[in-house]
Structure 1
Amino acid sequence: MTSRKPSRTRTGIFVWTGIVFILLVSCGVGLSLVGEGLGGRRALAHGPLGTFTPTGRECGKTSCAWLGTFTGADGTVTEEHVELKDAEEVRRDDPMPAAVTDVRLDDEANRPTAYTADYSWYPPVVEGALFPLVGLGISAFLLTVPKRQRPTAVSP
């Protein structure tokens, strides 16, 4: 007959697995947000200027993004399947706009992205920096919960 592991060990393994998972996810999401913000900054500072012509939209759970073709102002740069990042939120029922002028292209990203002049790159960078801190806070909370539930030893 095999002996069972104490429940405290199982709880510890579960808690540590949860902590590692939370930290990995929060760091991954944070890095993704920071990368998006810095990509927008790079594009607005050095990206080629041009026009974005929407051809469709891609929707997630809460919002949508315009997809289309970017054409450089001088006609030398043409990119298809470009996502437009804008200060305004796109909803499912919004009508497709005409061509959007004065946008800058970030072609160094995994997916080419065009940014309008009113795009603010600060919020994604700040959110991306705060996300791992939230993950650390949740992890610290998870570390303290099992300690509070342990029974105290009774002295004779």
Structure 2
Amino acid sequence: MSTDRPLTPRGRLVVHIGVVFVLLVSLGGGLGLAAEGLEGRTALRSGPVGTLTPTDRDCGKESCVWTGTFTGADGSVLAHDVELRGAARVRRSDPAPARIDDVRLAGDAGAAYTADYGWHGPVVKGAVLAAVGLAVATGLLVMLRRQRPVVAHARRTGLV
């Protein structure tokens, strides 16, 4: 990706800013996805079992998720505004069920997971996003190192 013209100091700064941006987005997004998957795995293994009573739905571009009140099987755990995560897609037109049984609450009580939740997908997607971001940032840095500074090039060519 080397060009004949060396980068100006301003161009080098833009590349450095691009590297930082790529690293922040890819590592932040990748770690966030992986953390969600691992949280689901932990909840499925050791989270309290109970029932989610949907009170609302939060919709994005493609699908929706139920939010509601989680009640533990023994009645001891109660959490409000819990987001349900599972393999089933919820559409805007789907009627709210009276309750959803056999869900497990995450440690922070912000999410509950159905037994069919696939935690592998978010972990793999997060790892791939982080790896691609690192590769792009490394490529930009390698490109930057191959570029000669403008001043050194100008001295060699007799312009300064």
TM-score by length of 1: 0.82
Instruction: Name the structure 2 match of 1:3.
Output: none
Q: Secondary structure at the match of 1:38?
A: helix
Q: CA deviation at 1:144?
A: 5.9
Deviations 1:18-74 (A, max 9, x none): 111110111111111111111111111111111111000112333321100011111
Instruction: Name the structure 2 match of 1:52.
Output: 52
Percent of pairs with identical residues = 53
Within 5 A, what are the aligned runs for 1:2-151? 8-106=8-106, 108-109=107-108, 112-143=110-141
Count of equivalent residues: 148
Distance 1:67 1:92 in 2: 13
Amino acid of the residue matched to residue 123 of structure 2?
V
| More contact order relative to length (CA 8 Å, sep ≥ 6) | 2
In terms of mean alpha carbon deviation, does 8-17 or 95-104 score higher? Answer: 95-104
Amino acid of the residue matched to residue 72 of structure 2?
G
Amino acid of the residue matched to residue 121 of structure 1?
W
Q: Any unmatched runs of 5+ in structure 2?
A: 1-5
Distance 1:28 1:130 in 2: 12
Q: CA deviation at 1:15?
A: 0.8
Q: Any unmatched runs of 5+ in structure 1?
A: 1-5
Q: What root-mean-square deviation, in Å, do the aligned CA atoms of Structure 1 and Structure 2 show? A: 2.7
Distance 1:102 1:121 in 2: 17
TM-score by length of 2: 0.80
Distance 2:9 2:67 in 1: 51
